[in-house]
Structure 1
Amino acid sequence: MDKKKIIFNCGWELFHSKGFKDTNISDIAKMAGIAVGTFYNYYSSKEQLFFEIYIKENEKLKKHIFESLDMNQDPITIVRQIVEQNISTVNSNKILKEWYNRDLFRELEHYYEEVKGNDDSIRGLYTGLIKKWRAEGKIRNDIDDDLLTAFFDSLTYIDSHKEEIGIRHFPQLIQYLAEFIMKGLTDSQK
Structure 2
Amino acid sequence: MEDKKTIILNSGKELFSSKGFKDTNVSQITKMAGVGVGTFYNYYPSKEKLFLEIFLEENVKLKKSMMDSMDLKDDPLTLLKKLLSMNIIGMNSSPILRQWYNKDVYGMLEELYREENGIDKVDFLYGSFAELFRQWQVEGKIRNDIDIELIMAFFTAIISIDTHKEEIGVQHFPQILDYMAEFVMKGLTEHSK
In 1, Cα distance between the equivalents of 2:81 and 2:182?
7
**SS of aligned partner of 1:22:** coil
Q: 1:156 aligns with which of 159, 162, 165?
A: 159
In 2, Cα distance between the equivalents of 1:36 and 1:90?
30
Q: Name the structure 2 match of 1:176.
A: 179
Q: Name the structure 2 match of 1:45.
A: 46
| Alpha-carbon displacement from aligned partner over 1:107-136 (angstroms, at most 9, x marks no partner) | 210112234452625432342222211222
Tell me how far 1:61 sits from its aligned partner: 1.6
Tell me how far 1:188 sits from its aligned partner: 4.9
Q: Name the structure 1 match of 2:114.
A: 113
Q: Name the structure 2 match of 1:145.
A: 147
Tell me how far 1:60 sits from its aligned partner: 1.1
Q: Name the structure 1 match of 2:89.
A: 88
**SS of aligned partner of 2:181:** helix
Q: Name the structure 2 match of 1:136.
A: 139
Tell me how far 1:16 sits from its aligned partner: 1.6
In 2, Cα distance between the equivalents of 1:95 and 1:62?
14
Q: Which range is displaced more, 40-49 or 149-158?
A: 149-158
Tell me how far 1:148 sits from its aligned partner: 3.2
User: TM-score normalized by structure 2?
Assistant: 0.84
User: TM-score normalized by structure 1?
Assistant: 0.85
Alpha carbons of structure 1 residues 38 and 51: separation in structure 2 relative to 1, 3 Å: same
Tell me how far 1:90 sits from its aligned partner: 0.9
Q: Name the structure 1 match of 2:56.
A: 55
Gaps of 5+ in 2: none
C-alpha contact (below 8 Å) 1:138/1:186 kept by paired residues: yes
1:145 counterpart letter in structure 2: D
**SS of aligned partner of 2:22:** coil
1:56 counterpart letter in structure 2: E
C-alpha contact (below 8 Å) 1:130/1:145 kept by paired residues: no
In 2, Cα distance between the equivalents of 1:43 and 1:122?
22
In 2, Cα distance between the equivalents of 1:186 and 1:76?
9
Q: Name the structure 2 match of 1:125.
A: 128
| Alpha-carbon displacement from aligned partner over 1:66-100 (angstroms, at most 9, x marks no partner) | 21111111101110111001111111212112222
| Alpha-carbon displacement from aligned partner over 1:32-62 (angstroms, at most 9, x marks no partner) | 1223343233222221211111111111122
Gaps of 5+ in 1: none
How many pairs does the alignment contain?
A: 189
